[in-house]
Amino acid sequence: MIAGIETGGTKVICAVADPQDPGVPVDQARIDTTSPAETLSAVRDFLAPHAAAGRFDAVGIASFGPVQVDAASPRFGWITSTPKPGWRNTDLVAGLGLAPGTPVRLVTDVTGAALGEHRFGAGRGVSDLAYVTVGTGVGAGIVVDGAPFTLRSHPELGHLVVRRHPEDSFAGVCPFHGDCLEGLASGPSITARWGRPGTDLGAWHQDAVSLSAYYIAQLLATVTYAVAPQRIVLGGGVLKAAGLLDAVREQLALLVGGALAEHPLTDPGSGYVVRPALGDGSGVRGALCLAGDALPLGAALATAG
């Protein structure tokens, strides 16, 4: 049996699957993200009945970060400088209590979502995919030729310095930078800016959509310029706001203009920027893929396909 674990800022999703069919969970659970001790204890309780003779064939983890994903590092599996209260310097892998020698693959939660969407969702049919999430935090994950572009580090694009909207004087909420992208466009920034959550903005809804689209489009332009994915999947709780996805597509076309002539982003209806097809299941499906790829046959199939 293999296990996939997606740890997020508000919830953890755990799943187990047959190694021969990693894309189909045979059981899964949602666990609230509270303290490390309480959360990881609940994860262990879910995993224990599924471990054959106390062990799994492999485990894949897609974790909120920053997190040390380099397996050669002595701090592999440690959550590092996260703003999540109580989680800084948490040894995530050790906290799972896995049997010694269990193969573990680890990426960020958004890279896990990119992998899940690439294999089973909105990224099918392309080789290179970016997944961008705008929710409690802002981040991006990249898949190149069907695999995470690196297992040694991960992007932290939520902290990009962006061009301010000319009518925006909000200070931002990022604890490190104030008005970086995450500080201006994340879910907490919307709540702080308007005094109410994005789901309850009333008469301010359209103003919030316009501001959010202005900043999110800058992130998508950066991803496009830097890594040239064939498609971008845009998810996260903020993107559930009515009209925001279309506004981002239109703003992206305006922002890039003629710099990328004939690129599909210049047509907001091209399908270059799409919603996730797997909903909230993208990350855990990606984590299961990581576990499957950690097995000899899985690794060979992933390389071939």
Q: What is the mean pLDDT of residues 240-269?
A: 96
Q: How many domains does the chain have?
A: 2
**What is the rounded distance in angstroms from the CA atom of residue 191 to the CA atom of residue 201?**
9
Q: Residue 297's pLDDT band (boundaries 50, 70, 90)?
A: low
The residue among 143 and 8 whose pLDDT is bigger is: 143
Strand partners, 107: 62
Among candidates 41, 44, 95, 28, which has minimal Cα distance to 67?
95
For the packed helices 109-120 and 282-294, what is the interaxial angle rounded to 10 degrees? 80
pLDDT computed for residue 264 by the predictor = 96
Among candidates 287, 291, 289, which has minimal Cα distance to 14?
287
Supply 251's token pair: 């703003």
Is 116 within a domain?
no
Q: Residue 304's pLDDT band (boundaries 50, 70, 90)?
A: very low
Domain extent for 22: 2-109+279-304
54 in the same domain as 8: yes
**Residue 284, Cβ neighbours under 10 Å: how many?**
31
The values of phi and psi at residue 233, to 5°, are -95, 125
Q: Which residues contact 43 (CB under 8 A, 6 or more apart)?
A: 5, 12, 14, 31, 95, 96
Is 117 within a domain?
no
96 in the same domain as 161: no
181 in the same domain as 60: no
**What is the rounded distance in angstroms from the CA atom of residue 118 to the CA atom of residue 233?**
9
105 in the same domain as 10: yes
* Pairing, β 138-144 against β 147-148: antiparallel
* Pairing, β 27-32 against β 11-17: antiparallel
173 in the same domain as 68: no
For the packed helices 187-194 and 205-227, what is the interaxial angle rounded to 10 degrees? 150
171 in the same domain as 97: no
183 in the same domain as 101: no
Q: What is the mean pLDDT of residues 70-99?
A: 93
Q: What is the mean pLDDT of residues 191-220?
A: 95
Burial label for 64, CB within 10 Å (0-12, 13-18, 19+), is buried
63 in the same domain as 184: no
160 in the same domain as 92: no
Q: Which residues contact 288 (CB under 8 A, 6 or more apart)?
A: 2, 3, 4, 15, 17, 22, 23, 25, 60, 116
184 in the same domain as 234: yes
253 in the same domain as 162: yes
Q: Residue 152's pLDDT band (boundaries 50, 70, 90)?
A: confident
CATH of the domain at 66: 3.30.420.40
148 in the same domain as 78: no
**Residue 115, Cβ neighbours under 10 Å: how many?**
33
H or E stretch covering 182: helix 181-185
Is 101 within a domain?
yes
What digits encode the pLDDT tens for the residues 31-73? 999 999 999 999 999 999 999 999 999 999 999 988 999 999 9
